[in-house]
Amino acid sequence: MIDHITIEAINAWKKKREGLSWVSVKNILRTMQRVLSSSSKSKTDPFSQDGLAIPERDKLQMKINSRRQVSYSWDQTLRIAEQVQQLETLGKARQEQYSTMFLLAAASGLRIGELLALRDDDIGFEQSTSESMSQSIDSGRSAHVKNVSAYRTVVLADVQGQHAMQKLKEFMKQDGLIFRSKTGGPLVENSILVQGLHPALKKLGLPKAGMHAFRRGCNRRWELSRVSAAVIRQQMGHASASMTAHYTGEIPVEVVKNFLQLDSNGAAKAA
């Protein structure tokens, strides 16, 4: 069956479905790749997306949309964490767990799989570092990291990092997995979104997105703080500089104005 999944077959299938966007097609293929690769012994992608007959107009729109993906700033994250603490649908333990996770995600830029795989011995409070180990857990299933750059130590030495590490230190009370279920196993990402993040976003009137929005916001914050591109690439665990640049996306006008510190005449003051 897998042998029949070819680029030619996919392009022909797409022509018969005019109402289906190329973004949806790529998302479908990504999901298929993850499922099939996780079930295979080699853990490699069973097919490639190279050669998709995507029209240039659609390619351009996809690039525009990717630049406009939601990212949460540190200030927004603080509001989200505070709102989670007020969600009556969550018990006290879950409120603390989710708010701590969101703060750490925004401060460190860790992927959700890396966050869910964190154990107590991965954390160095004295050095303010958070280590992302050799494998991550995604939605409760063990998986390999994306690339060799993902094997890294994330240094949390800025104000945001120190704040998140302090909250994490207060939250950690047991050995093993830091963010665990009641049975001691890993949390499921969808539950985190449905129970914690999305209800908080709705209350605050913020755009709905997933955990990756914290990662994008962290990347942007470091860039606007003039952190070296090489350092950001290492902190984020990106395989290339182009991926790091891609994460910045389209910076909101209000953020640009604040960064340039425009005076009353519209002239840029020294940052």
Mean pLDDT of the chain: 79
Closest CA to 164 of 130, 208, 198: 130
Q: What is the pLDDT of residues 55-79, one digit of tens each?
A: 777 666 666 666 668 889 999 999 9
How large is the average pLDDT for residues 202-206? Answer: 96
Q: What is the pLDDT of residues 209-225, one digit of tens each?
A: 999 999 999 998 998 88
Q: Where are the domains of the chain?
A: 2-67, 74-219
How many whole angstroms separate alpha carbon 230 and alpha carbon 157?
A: 17
The least confident of 8-22, 69-83, 171-185, 253-267 is: 253-267
Beta strands 152-155; 129-132: pairing state: antiparallel
Closest CA to 194 of 269, 125, 98: 98
- pLDDT > 60? residue 145: no
How many whole angstroms separate alpha carbon 129 and alpha carbon 35?
A: 33
Sign, CA torsion 44/239/27/219: positive
CATH annotation of 74-219: 1.10.443.10
pLDDT at 174: 85
How many whole angstroms separate alpha carbon 30 and alpha carbon 48?
A: 10
What DSSP line would sit under 183-198, residue for residue?
Answer: TSSB--HHHHIIIIIH
The better pLDDT of the pair 223, 99 is held by 99
User: Which one-letter DSSP state was computed for residue 200?
Assistant: H
Would you mind telling me the total number of residues written for the chain in this entry?
271
What DSSP line would sit under 100-117, residue for residue?
Answer: HHHHHHHHH---HHHHHH
